[in-house]
Structure 1
Amino acid sequence: MFETLIRGATVVNADGLSRGDIGIAAGKVAALIAPGEAAEAGTVINASGSFLLPGLVDAHAHLREPGLTQKEDFSSGTHAAALGGVTTVLDMPTDEPWTATSEQLADKMAMAEGRIHVDVGLQAVVSRDLSLVPRLLDRAPVSFELFTADVPDAFLFATLDAVAEALKAFAGAETLIGISPGDQSILTGATARDRSGSIAAFLDSRPPLAEANGIARAVIAAASAEARIHVRQINSELGVETWNRLRGMADASVETTPQNLFFTADDYEAQGANLKASPPLRSPHDVDALRAALGAGLIDIVATDHAPHAPVEKAAPYTAFADIPGGMPGLQTLLQTMLRLVEEGLIVLPDLVRMCSTNPAERFGLGRRKGRVAVGYDADLLILDPRQSSTIANADQLSRAGCTPFDGWKVKARLTNVFLRGREIVREGRPVGAAQGKIVTRES
């Protein structure tokens, strides 16, 4: 007898669609049952006409705790994630302090205990003190993060030599190193040439050339060091072309974000501070190239770079556009924005699962328990009703940012139920139950 039985849904995995009922026990998918086959359960859910997806895994999010909780915290951020169908959040290390030591990582794990509404994997930052790496590896973070531009000196690896030497510290380690493909030399040079503080100056300081050079440097250094890397959000035609030519040289994957697939630099005029982030938004031509790459399967992961700020922080006056706090919320809207791409015909539902669930789970060391509707996997499940519609609205956002750049967008589907390890955490679009999330670590 199962604890829960979900009947009648069409199951969506990265490799396609299938029909079958899902038996859940002890937090796992215990059985895939032929449609209509006899089975007993304490709770039976009729999902006829709906799709059943694995919970999404957001590989790039900033939950802002410790130290920046006026922007977000573990509770508010994971509450928003649950409502959006993200059942696993991979949290970046750029809080206050940055998660750079074993002790800081342990402290962060303890802070989250009992307060997270979905599962959370923590990422550690690579600092210039590479002697810290072995003890961090002992705590099995889901990944490490290495920065090449626009960060404090203690975490800046601005040259090919610096990146290559840092990657050597991970020789033989079963982990993944995320790399943001910036270029400090271009940032420094452009800023010196144009001190106007305009939007144009911000764009010129972080051009496609910087992204492309950052991608090339990351892939070549990874090939030399035999390291596993993940290139953070790319969004330019030059970056996509560089990635396409070099990606086979190393064990490397790449991501982009929904905002980079829908907005262009022209949208700064209307939304301004709400869209300001790094990398900056690009030209319509760049967006077209990025969308083509997504449709062709060249993008491995779509993540959000969920990076909320308090409304007063975004609304404050700033001398330069570059000084506006960068980032926007995204956890609650990841599924809906990806469904818009399905509506447009750019991708299909299995592509959505591949890029937002299966690939991030596998790449970040959670692939034996997350990212699939399969026997033995965590019963992190979404019921999606295509007969209903939904509208993204600022008023519904649970992030402390209280807004979304996708406000007013309509989606021809509705997320009705979310399960985390077999327990229902969202019902009819509303959160239910106490915080049940756990800290997850990289599989050995």
Structure 2
Amino acid sequence: MGIVLSGGTIVTAADVYQADVRIEGERIVALGHEIKQPDDQVINVDGCFLFPGGIDPHTHFDLPAGDITTSDDFHSGTKAALLGGTTTILDYATQFKGESLKTGLENWHKKAQGKCYADYGFHMAITDWNDLIAQEMTTLVHQEGVPSFKLYMAYKNVLQVDDSELLQALRQAGDCEALVCVHCENGDVVYDLVQKARREGNTAPKYHPLTRPPEIEAEATARVITLAQMAGAPVYIVHLTCSGALQEVTRAKLRGYEVYAETCPQYLLLDDSYYCSEGFNGAKYVISPPLRPIQNQSALWSGLKTGILETIATDHCAFNYKGQKDLGLEDFSKIPNGAPGVETRMGLLFTYGVQTGKLSLNEFVALTSTNAAKLFGLFPRKGTIAPGSDADLVVWDPRISSVVTAETLHQQVDYTPFEGFKQQGQAVRIFLRGKQVCQDGKLTQEIPTGSYLFRKPFLRRKGDENV
């Protein structure tokens, strides 16, 4: 007995067409017309789009930050993701100082096991580098299904690595079929600017973006691209925010370097004026890199349209406004960096990307699902609608209108940075590996059924001799 979704419009990164989808077990088994078999359950989805389940390649669930931890763990975070149309998340497991990569990965497996409503995988964030860590990278790629690693050029004295370590990690990644993801800000300069602001008594949230200006993101982006080229390795720039950094990625691609980049909804839809919100409300938008002047938004949308930017992630790193963000009430540098977004990503991008003509339906699917699947070792199991692929399907009704508000979201955080934003369209049914898990904004089963995804090694571009 199978399930047939009848009457919808299938959208992939390449096609838009009307056809039925037949599901059997966990997989899609047929596309077309008159594919119903005896005893199949038929679900009418007339007027709806059928998208492959969203893939968010950048989340931080249950992440320690000093004496506090992000407000969303894997239970609440993946529930919110699923209800928003994201069926797969890739979270950043973190190796802290003195730990092995194996220990860091084991810690994240314990955090996630049995709690995830969406399927999940891990990147491995490296904060402490040595020869043994280099050897472990190969082990994680081929024995643990973790073919991507993250290094920080920011957060001096906490997460930041130096250029020598970054170069060695890139070189090792190139050798072991991995992709290095990099947070690009010049951490040394940020540290100096923050200390200067504090000495001068400039401690309100509005000083956060002034101590992390766009120039230091562009500089760090150019630097890591140079290091990647020297190492003969590909590189993936996370949460790119500004035109200067985008220009560096564009130049690198024109030279034939294997460089990839993501951006996030907050950088497409919000700007640095939010830091001047009444009272302490600017703290809600303290993220790193920070929100930028509004003119950067058009450059980012253009980067998405032209394919310079491959993915739209969220960097979901939620802290409550009351009880966590207000730790920095007297000093912006003590405000936990991060904001929620995993639940609103698909709806906002459909509304402000597709509905405004900035993105086509195909580009929407590529940016929210397919490209991440290809980059991070999940395609064609995930990221498309095709026979043999996992039946991760989002039935999207474009006729439903709503307004984003924290009260109706399922993220475990007391605000949303997109409060009051209008949304057009909604996921009315969501399937995860063939089972309907959501309907009309509610879970249809309360037990988490997400599975860990053992991902394939990173596939280099053929014939690329420039990196």
Residues 97-106 or 71-80, more deviating: 97-106
> Which residue identity lines up with residue 5 of structure 2 in the other structure?
I
| Structure 1 residue 317 displacement after superposition | 4.8
Displacement of 1:96: 7.5
TM-score normalised by L of structure 1: 0.93
Amino acid at match of 2:184: P
Amino acid at match of 2:52: P
Matching residue's letter, 2:194:
T
Partner of 1:150: 155
Kept in 1, the 8 Å contact 2:208–2:286? The answer is no
1:140 Cα deviation after fit: 2.1
Equivalent residue for 1:387, pick from 387, 392, 399: 399
- Does the 8 Å CA contact 1:14/1:351 hold for their aligned counterparts? yes
- Report the Cα distance in structure 2 between the residues aligned to 1:381 and 1:117, rounded to whole angstroms: 14
2:258 to 232, 236, 251: 251
Deviation (angstroms), 1:41: 4.7
Task: Please give the residue correspondences for 1:177-216 in structure 2 after superposition, counting only pairs within 5 Å.
Answer: 177-195=180-198, 196-199=202-205, 201-216=207-222
Write the distance in 1 (CA, Å) between the matches of 2:147 and 2:443: 27
* Structure 2: runs of 5 or more not aligned: 458-467
Residue number in structure 1 paired with 2:387 = 375
C-alpha displacement of 1:188: 3.0
- CA-to-partner distance for each residue in 1:83-133, whole Å, 9 max, x for gaps? 101100100124878985213313422442221101011111223224124
Partners of 2:24 and 2:334 in 1: CA distance: 50
Residue of structure 1 in register with 2:320 after alignment = 310
Root-mean-square deviation (CA, aligned residues, Å) is 2.1
Separation of aligned partners in 1, 2:213 and 2:100: 29
SS of equivalent to 1:267: helix
Distance 1:98 1:346, change over 3 A: farther
Structure 2 equivalent of residue 57 of structure 1: 55
Does the 8 Å contact 1:62/1:94 carry over to 2? no
Deviation at 1:181, TM superposition (A): 0.8
The answer to whether the 8 Å contact 2:94/2:105 transfers is: no
The 3 A distance-change label for structure 1 pair 113 and 200 is: closer
Partner SS for 2:291:
coil
> 2:276 corresponds to which residue?
269
1:132 aligns to 2:133 (yes or no)? yes
The aligned length equals: 440
What TM-score do you get using the length of structure 2 for normalisation? 0.89
Change in CA separation of 1:49 and 1:345 when aligned onto 2, cut-off 3 Å: same
1:90 aligned partner, one-letter code: L
Alpha carbons 2:149, 2:179 under 8 Å: kept: yes
Preserved CA contact (<8 Å) 2:145 2:453: no
- Partner Cα distance (1:331, 1:189) in 2: 32
Matched, 1:104 2:101: no
1:40/1:350 CA distance change after superposition, 3 Å = farther
Instruction: Give the Cα separation in 1 of the matches to 2:39 and 2:404.
Output: 35
1:92 counterpart = 2:92: yes
Partner Cα separation in structure 1 for residue 316 and residue 212 of structure 2? 20
Return the offset for 1:202: 2.4
Q: 1:442 aligned to 2:450?
A: no
Contact 1:258 1:302 in 2 (8 A): yes
Q: Quote the residue 2:332 is aligned against.
A: 321
Counterpart Cα distance in 2 of 1:198 and 1:70: 22
Residue 315 to residue 42, structure 1, CA distance change in 2 (3 Å): farther
Q: Where in structure 1 are there 5+ consecutive unaligned residues?
A: none
